[in-house]
């Protein structure tokens, strides 16, 4: 009596899926086209015979009770039983693609359209507060003449004369297992099973045409360059008037003349006269929220920063906002008239700064020192 479980290398309580996986693995290894040796051919015949028995519930039950279906040497051509499935062998090598026909039938003319990706340039103010922007683009839309059917109005379609509406044509191929029937898409109707007798003049039978479209896009507050907004159903209409794909809009924030964005904070620089820095003053700054006063403390140094809380960029998906950081640049006068020069000399004399003692610092003071001083 043959040991079919041993031939496949599975246990007697193996599941149908385990038996199928074991057979596929061995079939790939022992196939005559891969392993041309005589021993491999004999082994391939044995594992195929074992699979035929163990994959059939009735034959497996009979075998488990002591009856071997092949004990008398019976079987079909090339030693295989009449119930042997050629598709299992084809599955092992082609993943099921070689089965005859496969029951696929004609394919539909109606297909989903492709997704689209388009850029959208917006101002910094829109990125901060959000808003609505119009986007105009070219895309595929449903043909208004045939309404996606592809046929000229008043005409129809006829069944393909080659495939008789099946969308496939079958052909017989000779293999090592004998004759195997396979199927491929019909070339006459391109697999549709029907032929358009009179294609629409406007879309040439595609059911869609190119057109220019304008939509309004809601831009949420807090977006930044690289943010993508998905608009379902605003992509290209598919062939045959099929459902449209999605439109992805990629945000690009244009450069602002005054403010620079860093994460959710805004930064700007303001030039300040030396006298205003020494005495203190109040500046008026046009922010994205309107005019705001910037208080400059007496004794302000170059590089000091004044923070206007809550005047930065809105955090995406929240209502809170970052800050506006005003960097102060102290300007030293370069041209003085005699009167101005004399006044400064008097000030230097009063402050005992006519010949000041130099105070040297490390070169990196500009980066870390200013941060430390700012915290102080």
- Domain holding 245: CATH number? 2.60.260.20
Which band of pLDDT confidence, cut at 50, 70 and 90, is reported for residue 376?
Answer: very low
- Would residue 142 count as lying in a domain? yes
Regarding predicted confidence, which is higher, 179 or 312? 312
Is 160 annotated in a binding site? The answer is yes
Is the whole-model pTM more than 0.75? no
Cα-Cα-Cα-Cα dihedral of 74, 76, 82, 88, to 10°? 120
Beta bridge partners of 306: 326
Same domain, 225 and 344: no
Is 203 flagged in the annotation as binding?
yes
Q: How confident is the model at residue 357 (pLDDT cuts 50, 70, 90)?
A: confident
Same domain, 278 and 346: yes
57 vs 93, more confident: 57
What does the alpha-carbon distance between residue 317 and residue 221 come to, in Å, rounded to a whole number? 8
- The backbone torsions φ and ψ at residue 118, rounded to the nearest 5 degrees and listed phi first, read -130, 145
Q: Is the pLDDT of residue 302 over 60?
A: yes
Rounded Cα distance, 76 and 5, in Å: 21
CA–CA dist 157, 199 (Å, integer): 9
For residue 163, say whether it is annotated as part of any ligand binding site: yes
Instruction: Judge whether 146 is annotated as a binding position.
Output: yes
Domain co-membership, 216 together with 244: yes
Q: Answer yes or no: do 277 and 367 share one domain.
A: yes
Domain membership of residue 38 as a residue range: 4-94
Q: Are residues 139 and 246 in the same domain?
A: yes
Residue 69 CB neighbours (<10 A): 20
Where a domain ends, among 196, 225, 253? 253
195 has a pLDDT exceeding 80: yes
Provide the pairing of β-strand 157-159 with 194-196: antiparallel
Burial code of 187-203, b = ≥16 C-beta within 10 A, e = fewer? eebebbbbebeebbeeb
350 & 320 share domain: yes
Q: How many domains does the chain have?
A: 3
In a domain, 102, yes or no: no
How far apart (Å, rounded) are the C-alpha atoms in residues 246 and 83?
A: 48
State pLDDT tens for residues 37-80: 677 778 888 888 888 888 888 888 778 877 776 665 444 333 44
Token code pair at residue 285: 């700054």
Q: Is residue 236 part of a domain?
A: yes
3-state SS class at 354: coil
């Amino acid at each position: 009596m043959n040991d079919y479980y041993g031939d496949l290398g599975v246990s007697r309580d193996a599941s149908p899926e385990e038996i199928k996986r074991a057979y596929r693995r061995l079939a790939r290894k022992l196939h005559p086209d891969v392993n041309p040796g005589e021993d491999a051919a004999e082994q391939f015949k044995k594992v195929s015979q074992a699979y035929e028995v163990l994959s059939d519930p009735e034959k497996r039950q009979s075998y488990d009770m002591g009856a071997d279906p092949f004990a008398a040497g019976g079987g079909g051509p090339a030693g295989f039983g009449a119930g042997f499935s050629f598709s299992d062998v084809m599955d092992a090598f082609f993943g099921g693609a070689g089965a005859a026909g496969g029951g696929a039938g004609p394919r539909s003319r109606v297909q989903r359209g492709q997704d689209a990706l388009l850029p959208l340039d917006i101002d910094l103010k829109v990125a901060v507060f959000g808003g609505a922007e119009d986007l105009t683009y070219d895309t595929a839309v449903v043909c208004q003449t045939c309404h996606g059917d592809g046929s000229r109005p008043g005409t129809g379609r006829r069944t393909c004369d080659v495939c008789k509406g099946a969308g496939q044509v079958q052909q017989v191929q000779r293999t090592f297992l004998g004759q195997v029937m396979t199927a491929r898409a019909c070339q006459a109707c391109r697999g549709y099973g029907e032929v358009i007798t009179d294609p629409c003049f406007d879309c040439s039978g595609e059911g869609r045409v190119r057109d220019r479209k304008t939509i309004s896009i809601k831009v949420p507050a807090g977006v930044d360059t690289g943010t993508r907004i998905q608009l379902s159903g605003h992509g290209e209409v598919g062939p045959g008037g099929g459902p449209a794909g999605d439109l992805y809009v990629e945000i690009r924030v244009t450069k602002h003349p005054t403010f620079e964005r860093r994460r959710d904070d805004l930064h700007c620089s303001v030039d300040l006269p030396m006298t205003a820095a020494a005495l203190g003053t109040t500046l008026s700054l046009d922010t994205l929220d309107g005019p705001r006063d910037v208080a400059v403390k007496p004794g302000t140094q170059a590089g000091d920063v004044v923070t206007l809380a809550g005047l930065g960029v809105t955090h995406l998906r929240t209502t809170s906002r970052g800050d506006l950081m005003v960097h102060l640049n102290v300007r030293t006068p370069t041209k003085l008239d005699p009167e101005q020069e004399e006044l400064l000399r008097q000030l230097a004399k009063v402050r005992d700064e006519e010949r000041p003692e130099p105070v040297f610092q490390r070169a990196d003071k500009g980066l870390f020192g200013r941060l430390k001083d700012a915290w102080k």
